[in-house]
Structure 1
């Protein structure tokens, strides 16, 4: 369900002028909108439901690392929501969840014995490309963006 938010996250970070440095004055870390607040609320709801499922079926759906991941994610989102700070960066991190459907489909195909079908191969290619863009290139951009804009980092 969390991946359904991806078009809104993409709109806020890439298409809208909310975080455009050429259009808006002021520090990016202070910018937010009602839509980013709504995305954070929906994300916390997703993490809570997913956490409940993980706890209910513990440890078959994930171990302690998943509990830590969900706890830290909700903490970071909650801080951004309550403080009104760093919305762009949290939205960018949430965008990395775009790869989740590919990860889930890979697991379903594996469990159902479909590792030899074409869908498994195509999904693997899509997962690789999605992971490269959303998890590697995006994080490189995010940390570079932060490094060159905030003096507390160096």
Structure 2
């Protein structure tokens, strides 16, 4: 069992694993921990934070900004890791996703109540009262799908059969949760955006934040739709193969009888 050449159901001790797998494993573990923290806190804010719920555009909540700060810190560190280990875990879509999200979240953390047409340096110098805190935390609910995506990676790394019960259940849950938190949320989100368009609270945001709010969300949601299509195709393929396998076994059993 101590030999690196001995076949095992898991990668074995750290010194026996291929060096290239270590950053990938650490990357997925940290991603799962981050997604659980910001996702759960985001759920609490979405349902119970009265200040944020009462005014989604300007409601100021310390917990909400802390959650955004945690997510921003993770995105920065993850972006650096992706670049450093590009040949192992690099992904251009992750880079686009992280940079877009960071750009959007900096308004939540560093904006101020007043004119928002000033330059970045002016924004930093002003009193910090975040805007769109509730909106930012609503977007973080999308992270609740990450644990299932990461778990699929772990199953593949551990060489679990694609048709294993654990793999199939995780795949179905991944598809359902991904759809709920990233796709089903799109219509109500843009419906709300349309409902506040032109209001006094919306005008107070200023053109820069208005434009950034819309464009960053569109970019992120386009990627979410792309990923959803890919995940759905994989899920449908697995279910179809399972049905074919079940039918084949039933046919064989019938012939044996």
Give the TM-score band, short-chain normalised.
0.7 to 0.9
Q: Partner residue of 1:43?
A: 71
Unaligned runs of 5+ in 1: none
Q: Partner residue of 1:101?
A: 147
- Of the structure 1 ranges 108-117 and 46-55, higher mean CA displacement relative to structure 2 is found in 108-117
What TM-score results when the alignment is normalised by the length of structure 1?
0.87
What per-residue deviation string (whole Å, max 9, x for no partner) do you get for residues 49-106 of structure 1? Answer: 2112211110431322222211111111111111111112111111101101111111
Q: Work out whether 1:17 is the aligned partner of 2:50.
A: yes
Q: Partner residue of 1:128?
A: 175
Q: Partner residue of 1:110?
A: 156
CA-based RMSD of the aligned residues comes to: 1.8
CA separation in 2, counterparts of 1:16 and 1:70?
26
Unaligned runs of 5+ in 2: 1-32, 112-129, 203-209, 211-257
Large movers: runs of 4+ above 3 Å: none
Matches within 5 A, 1:133-144: 133-144=180-191
Is the 1:12–1:18 contact (alpha carbons within 8 Å) kept by the matching residues of 2? no
CA separation in 1, counterparts of 2:73 and 2:92?
20
Q: How many corresponding residue pairs?
A: 148
Is the 1:92–1:142 contact (alpha carbons within 8 Å) kept by the matching residues of 2? no
CA separation in 2, counterparts of 1:59 and 1:147?
42
Q: Which has the larger radius of gyration?
A: 2
